[in-house]
Amino acid sequence: MSQNPLHIDGCWFKDEQGRVVILRGVNVAGNSKVPPFIPFADAALLDPLKEWGMNVIRLVLIWEAIEPEPGKYNEGYIDAMETLVNAAGERGIYVILDMHQDMFSRYVNGGCGDGAPSWAIDPSIPQDEPINDERCIDWVNGLNDRNVLRAFDSLYANVNNIRDHYISMWAHIAERFGDHPAVIGYDLMNEPIGDEVSQVALLYEDAGAAIRRVDSDGILFIEPSILTSFGAIYSRLPPLSRGNYAYAPHFYSASLLISDIFSSAEADKSFADFNSKVAELGVPLLLGEFGMYPEKARVSEYIADIYRRLDDCFYGGTQWDYTPGWSPVALDGWNRENYSIIDDQGNIRRNFKVRGYAQRIAGIPQKLEVSDNRIYLEWENQPEVTAATLLYVPIDVMFKGAEFDIVEGPSVHCKLDVEHRCLTCAASGRGTRTVEVKAR
């Protein structure tokens, strides 16, 4: 297998030149959870992501689409997803393959879930007809659905070899994509339900082992229980013995979602938990999902707050979601969710804003501050890392024709490519280095 373009070094993602890489992007896509399970076929729809400075997508895969019958893989579906992976790679965008599920399957939880095929449900569990429409707006209540919990327990217990199939399916995906230069890793299960120590972690260990047998360099992204997404619990996930892995929690504000109330206290708690878990595991963090409905009154303030926290910690993040198939009627196309950052005309909605950040850093990041018309980066330079530090700086968005300054710290020399929104900075010597772009 070819070498992964990224690897884990302590709490950092690093590229082949040894630079720290900050991953920022989106999930693709909200409509991938239901047939035909393919978000879009037009590769050009990825063009805006590159323009907006994104360098990663978390690509939604569905077990039901991959393995419609036990042991029989739908190569047509996998080929279609590979087309999107190819298109991302051609645009310089990394891909994380996300094995997505919500409440186990669309054949339980009143027909309001997604993920597993019907044959992977314990035969003793009654199945529902999939609906995934406006009746499913409260799909998360499946956390209290006995059949959903039984389905997960049956998976972990390997009833009818279901767990074995899940692991073999992951190995098949890794064999298909392990050599792909755009694919950096595998998100082993979206928002799992179950005991993190005795069930979830053991599945991650075995799935990770199967993946590593065919792709020794792939980064494993491990998610805690869905209950951590709202700050309800602190994750008990133990370290993964496989190495080269990242912690990949999610965060959603329950108060904003339910009552349209913005409280920074929720994020304070969750990010404190994230910081503690990163210190405990000694690995980098990718916030795999965050986002909000654009009609919420304080959505812009809320999203800005999340990105500020990501900047403060140098965490990666993939916002939920980018759905070019969004429509005013079907919305994201699944359960009346409405998180897409674009509308049906491709226009950016109120839940997203193009913003600058540091993409690659030739040393150890110390401080990143970003506002509407300012970017400040401070790092401990490592002269043995000879590749340049790169910042995504959307001058046209930040300054709208107004004058600005690029303030280079000592031993720093930068060049701005306005068209490609890229500031390239070379620094010499060892020690603290800075660069700032600000309104005049």
Q: pLDDT per residue over 385-402, tens digit each?
A: 999 999 999 999 999 999
Residue 326 has pLDDT above 90, yes or no: yes
Who contacts 162 (Cβ-Cβ below 8 Å, separation ≥6)? 120, 122, 154, 155
| CA distances in angstroms from 57 to 84, 119, 126, 189, 265, listed in the order given | 10, 30, 36, 16, 28
pTM for the model stands at: 0.98
Percent of the chain exceeding pLDDT 90 equals 98
Question: In degrees, to the nearest 5, what angle opens at C-alpha 313 toward C-alphas 312 and 314?
Answer: 100
101 and 189 in contact (C-beta within 8 Å)? yes
Token pair 């799909």 is found at 139
Name which of 120, 103, 126, 131 is nearest 67 in CA terms: 120
pLDDT band at 318 (very low <50, low <70, confident <90, very high): very high
Query: Residue 3 has what pLDDT?
Result: 81
- pLDDT tens digit string along 196-242? 999 999 999 999 999 999 999 999 999 999 999 988 899 999 999 98
Residue 2 has pLDDT above 70, yes or no: no
Average pLDDT along the chain: 97
- pLDDT tens digit string along 66-89? 999 999 999 999 999 999 999 999
Residue 1 has pLDDT above 80, yes or no: no
Residue 419 has pLDDT above 90, yes or no: yes
Structure tokens at 236: 């008990």
Q: How far apart are CA 46 and CA 263, in angstroms?
A: 33
Domain ranges of the chain: 6-353, 363-439
Average pLDDT on 252-278 reads: 94
| CA distances in angstroms from 40 to 66, 84, 310, listed in the order given | 17, 8, 29
Q: Which CATH code, of 2.40.40.20, 1.10.600.10, 3.40.50.720, 2.60.40.1180, is assigned to 363-439?
A: 2.60.40.1180
Average pLDDT on 300-321 reads: 98
Let me know if 427 is exposed, middle or buried by CB neighbors in 10 A (0-12, 13-18, 19+): buried
Look up the CATH number of domain 6-353: 3.20.20.80
Query: Residue 379 has what pLDDT?
Result: 98
| CA distances in angstroms from 425 to 199, 285, 314, 360, listed in the order given | 47, 25, 18, 10
- pLDDT tens digit string along 118-146? 999 999 999 999 999 999 999 999 999 99
